[in-house]
């Protein structure tokens, strides 16, 4: 029997790459990001494990490019993972940094989800997981835009969840705290952070629930704050 398909944005590294690998035993993967060489490396690793991976090199902040690239794709699981973070005091934040975060973390949710959700509703089957953040309910210095986009992720995800659940399309959000990735510059011991694989396991947990169950939000954080490690 043919496998179902899972599309993961931001699959070139970090949480998205780990999620694509985690899902590849059960799903054919469509891996989306801008970095072709990193996508190629992911495809190779999935194929060595016996899986199937199609790569799409795409800037998800480009609405026309997204619409053209995803047209006609039948996707059973969408993982909206791609994100960018520039943590800076608002007074120092440039207009370009602001717009990049809003475009990738928030506007692209419309472009990618809209391209795929109609098919899910017609087939009466689908799962949409968005990677939000604990920044989606916490405020912090340097987070005026990033935190705002992640608050928006929660509003988007929870409203959409209520709109499409009767069509058997389940929508959920994963809100991690600190994960060891290249999202923001960091130095020193990072071993107290969660790993990308642990977030990938949470995505797997959500989508492997029975059809009659919808776990719509997961909050997760390192078990100890860095000062206690
Ligand atoms: N790391 C953390 O502590 C943490 C905590 C909470 C939530 N998160 C969230 O987790 C998600 C993944 O972040 P990460 O930590 O794994 O970061 P990462 O390692 O920097 O990966 C970010 C991914 O997003 C992709 N991306 C960025 N801009 C893109 C664009 N315009 N078009 C297409 N893809 C784009 C990147 O691919 P290309 O550069 O190849 O395009 C990359 O694959 C984000 O939504 C982030 O906000 C992270």
Quick one: angle between helices 63-70 and 108-123, nearest 10? 30
Q: Say how far apart CA 63 and CA 192 lie, in whole Å.
A: 37
Residue 81 Cβ < 6 Å to ligand 1: yes
Quote the pLDDT of residue 14: 98
Q: Which residues are catalytic?
A: 146
In contact, 58 and 66? CB cutoff 8 Å: yes
Report how far ligand 1's centroid is from the alpha carbon of 92 (Å): 22
Q: Which residue has the tokens 């999202």?
A: 183
What residues does 130 pair with on adjacent strands?
80, 173
* Ligand 1 atom closest to Cα of residue 146: 47
Quote the pLDDT of residue 58: 98
Dmax over CA atoms of the chain, in Å, equals 56
Q: Is the dihedral of CA 90, 92, 95, 98 positive or negative?
A: negative
Task: For residue 34, count other CB atoms closer than 10 A to its CB.
Answer: 15
Residue 226 has pLDDT above 80, yes or no: no
Residue 42 Cβ < 6 Å to ligand 1: no
- The class (CATH top level) of 4-182+193-228 is alpha beta
Residue 178 Cβ < 6 Å to ligand 1: yes
In contact, 178 and 189? CB cutoff 8 Å: no
Residue 225 has pLDDT above 90, yes or no: no
C-alpha dihedral over 89, 84, 111, 137, to 10 degrees?
-60
Q: Whose CA is nearest to atom 20 of ligand 1?
A: 183
| pLDDT tens profile 130-152 | 999 999 999 999 999 999 999 99
Mean pLDDT of 40-48: 98
Task: For residue 81, count other CB atoms closer than 10 A to its CB.
Answer: 25
Q: Which residue has the tokens 């997961």?
A: 218
User: Closest Cα partner for 87 from 151, 141, 132?
Assistant: 141
Strands, E assignment, 136-210:
169-176
Q: Say how far apart CA 37 and CA 57 lie, in whole Å.
A: 9
Mean pLDDT of 157-172: 98
Structure token digits, residue 6: 């899972």
Residue 73 vs residues 107, 119, 169, 205, 227: alpha-carbon distances, Å: 20, 8, 16, 24, 46
Mean pLDDT of 64-80: 98
| pLDDT tens profile 167-224 | 999 999 999 999 999 999 998 999 999 999 999 999 999 999 999 999 999 999 999 8
Residue % of the chain over a pLDDT of 70: 99
Quote the pLDDT of residue 227: 66
Quote the pLDDT of residue 77: 98
Residue 228 has pLDDT above 80, yes or no: no
The DSSP annotation for 107-165 comes to: IHHHHHHHHHHHHHHHHT-EEEEEE--GGGT---TT-HHHHHHHHHHHHHHHHHHHHHG
């Amino acid at each position: 029997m043919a496998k179902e398909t899972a599309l993961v944005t931001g699959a070139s590294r970090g949480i998205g790459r780990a999620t694509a690998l985690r899902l590849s035993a059960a799903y054919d993967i469509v891996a989306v990001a801008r970095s072709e060489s990193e996508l190629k490396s992911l495809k190779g690793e999935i194929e060595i494990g016996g899986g199937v991976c199609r790569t799409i090199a795409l800037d998800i902040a480009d609405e026309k490019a997204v619409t053209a690239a995803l047209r006609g794709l039948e996707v059973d699981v969408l993982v909206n993972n791609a994100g960018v973070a520039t943590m800076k005091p608002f007074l120092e934040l440039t207009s370009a940094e602001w717009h990049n975060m809003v475009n990738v973390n928030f506007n692209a949710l419309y472009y990618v989800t809209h391209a795929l959700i109609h098919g899910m509703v017609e087939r009466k089957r689908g799962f949409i997981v968005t990677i939000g953040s604990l920044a989606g309910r916490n405020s912090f210095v340097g987070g005026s835009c990033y935190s705002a986009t992640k608050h928006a992720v929660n509003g988007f995800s929870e409203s959409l969840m209520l709109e499409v659940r009767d069509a058997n399309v389940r929508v959920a959000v994963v809100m991690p705290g600190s994960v060891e990735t290249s999202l923001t510059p960091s130095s020193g011991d990072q071993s107290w952070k969660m790993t990308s694989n642990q977030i990938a396991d949470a995505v797997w947990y959500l989508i492997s629930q029975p059809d009659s169950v919808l776990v719509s939000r997961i909050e997760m954080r390192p078990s100890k704050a860095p000062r206690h490690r």
